[in-house]
């Protein structure tokens, strides 16, 4: 199969990209608006990009009408966010939180997600997440119709660093995937 990604005809470049860049980690991002409304949404165009200092990057597309998503707007307003670790048990909630809730509605409230205080940032975290990264906005870039959010990780919490305990879920095409086999050594 051959795909001219500069002149797509008869295929969707999004589909090719998201089927070939796999599996992707999922950032379940909590954030706070300037008015103090909490927000929670998943993003899989996400990765760690530096470790000294630790920096993560999240790419957030604009909505069809050009509006920023609540997560991007909140992070630009209040400069902080938390990445909640996505374990297998959280799949359903993560998916529900990706629905387009209006900005004045908190996904924490609407989906009854229990929250817990973070250590270094004001943004609450998901109490049931087995790990979390507290981030402050380091840099924001606009790229085409995307908000690129570079976050400096200022604090991390984890029940364990063992993937057998964390049971991470990844994004595989439009689906979720579990880790079922690990190479030795
Ligand atoms: C697993 C998963 C991964 C997603 N990854 C992204 C992503 O990388 N970038 C993006 O803009 N939207 C992504 N979305 C869609 C957003 O979660 C969705 O647009 C959400 O409504 C944004 O919420 P907000 O307006 O509260 O920020 C993803 C959805 C799911 C279920």
pLDDT digits 0-9 by tens, 8-58 = 999 999 999 999 999 999 999 999 999 999 999 999 999 999 999 999 999
Distance CA 55, CA 138 (A): 8
| Euclidean distance between CA atoms 170 and 163, whole angstroms | 12
Phi, psi dihedrals of residue 71, rounded to the nearest 5°: -60, -50
pTM across the whole model: 0.98
Please tell me the predicted confidence (pLDDT) of residue 185: 75
Residue 181 is predicted with a pLDDT of: 87
| Nearest atom in ligand 1 to 71's CA | 27
The verdict on residue 185 lying in a domain is: no
What contacts 15, CB < 8 A, 6 or more positions away? 173
CATH code for the domain of 165: 2.30.110.10
154, part of any domain = yes
The CB of 100 under 6 Å from ligand 1? The reply is yes
Integer Cα distance of 44 and 60 in angstroms:
9
On whether residue 79 sits in a domain, the answer given is: yes
Please state, in angstroms and rounded to a whole number, the distance separating the CA atoms of residues 86 and 42.
9
Inside any domain, residue 121: yes
**Is the C-beta atom of 106 inside 6 A of ligand 1?**
no
The predicted structure's pLDDT at residue 126 = 98
Domain of residue 47 covers: 25-171
Q: How many domains does the chain have?
A: 1
* Dist. CA 51 → ligand 1 center (Å): 25
Most ligand 1 atoms within 8 A of CB, residue of 98, 102, 106, 178 to mutate: 98
């Amino acid at each position: 199969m051959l795909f001219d990604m500069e002149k797509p005809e008869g295929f969707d470049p999004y589909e090719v990209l998201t089927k070939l860049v796999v599996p992707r980690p999922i950032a379940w991002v909590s954030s706070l608006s300037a008015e103090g409304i909490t927000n929670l949404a998943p993003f899989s165009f996400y990765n760690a990009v530096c470790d000294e200092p630790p920096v993560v990057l999240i790419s957030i597309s604009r909505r069809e009408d050009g509006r920023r998503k609540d997560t991007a707007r909140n992070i630009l307003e209040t400069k902080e966010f938390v990445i909640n670790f996505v374990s297998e048990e959280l799949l359903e909630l993560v998916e529900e939180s990706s629905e387009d809730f209006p900005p004045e509605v908190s996904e924490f409230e609407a989906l009854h997600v229990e929250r817990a205080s973070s250590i270094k940032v004001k943004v609450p975290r998901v109490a049931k997440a087995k790990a979390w990264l507290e981030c402050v906005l380091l840099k924001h870039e606009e790229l085409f119709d995307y908000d690129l959010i570079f976050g400096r990780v200022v604090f991390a919490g984890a029940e364990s660093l063992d993937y057998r305990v964390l049971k991470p879920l990844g994004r595989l095409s439009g689906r979720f995937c579990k880790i079922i086999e690990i190479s030795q050594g």
